[in-house]
Amino acid sequence: MNILAIDPGSTSTKIGIYFDGKIYRSKVEHLDENFLKLKNVIEQKDFRFDHIKRYLKESTFEDINFDAIVARGGLVKNIEGGVYIVNEKLIEDLKNGINGEHPANLGGILASEFSNIYNCPAFIVDPPIIDEMWDIAKITGVSSITRKSKFHALNHKEVARYIAKEKLRKNYDDSILIVAHMGGGITIGLHYYGKVVDVNNGLDGDGPFAIERAGTLPVDGIVEYLKNENITPDDFLKIIIKSSGFYSHLKTKDMIEVENMIRYGDNKAKKVLDAFVYNISKEIGGLFAAAKGKIDGIVLTGGLANSKLIVEKIKNYVGFMSEIYVVPGEYEIEALINGAIRVLKGEDNAKIYE
């Protein structure tokens, strides 16, 4: 079977082609001046479509007849995880940004357009707003405020399935794992028999602080900051998502630079990194308690899982809880293609978005 995978990012689109049993990756950059002037994500659709079409035409995959097009899911309604058929309702909600604007919103739309060309089905897999959380995990001390499920669902689920199959010799649906995705944002979730039943909303800055995200903040500090800076909630949200975390403390978003600062004796950098690791470990510990201590393993993934320093520091905190598995990087293209393969092979049923 032949599959085209589409994963839109802010100024590029990752492409994966499954052909002859292998995955071929590429990235199409969108740095055209006219593209960068576009006001919103939906206006980028034609640019991205033309760039992907041109790539396919100029590549060695021009004459492939695809059996499925699969794309990263966007900020649609809160739904359970799985593979979904791209239908009119899904496209409508992606265009309207029903749960917010994000480049991933173009995934299902682009998949639909290419599926029309190749006369094959279009799917999305595990969008970032899948909601499988326990009800008690959503309740807060203010009745009108609930915790939301927004996280790196695609990579979370893929590495959890991999560890369950290859290391535990179990099905994902029979496993209990704590997965920590550590990248530009940090999301840590409890995967409980195939469902992510508790996870921090890393997209909006909840949980441990990250490279540029603030993480959970004390309420009194938020109130005081808003008063002193005299800014709107929208402006504050931009700050906690784009210019907080390591950047707020050390004025860099490069973790290699942070480690070099520590190597050359920068005590402030060391203290911030130690706090970073401490907060991640505390989040893992909370989910360990939520699982009543009965877990099959802890998985560290994302770009920062490449850091031996960070991994070893986390192991020093939580290594006593369970076996720790390290799967560095992200596997979104694999997750998309594997999701489509499961459906095409009849191992999983594609769900209907309503």
- Would you say residue 63 has pLDDT above 90? no
Tell me the two tokens of residue 137: 């995990």
CA angle 124, 79, 176 (to 5 degrees): 95
CA distance 190 to 184: 20
- Would you say residue 62 has pLDDT above 90? no
pLDDT class of 61 with cuts at 50, 70, 90: confident
Are 161 and 172 contacting, i.e. CB atoms less than 8 angstroms apart?
Answer: yes
Tell me the two tokens of residue 262: 């520590």
CA distance 147 to 130: 13
Show the domains of the chain with their CATH numbers.
Answer: 3-131+333-352 (3.30.420.40), 153-329 (3.30.420.40)
Three-state SS at 97: coil
Q: pLDDT at position 60, please?
A: 84
- Taking only the tens place, the pLDDT of each residue in 320-331 is 999 999 999 999
- Would you say residue 309 has pLDDT above 90? yes
Q: pLDDT at position 112, please?
A: 97
Mean pLDDT (the chain, rounded): 95
Q: pLDDT at position 319, please?
A: 97
pTM as predicted: 0.94
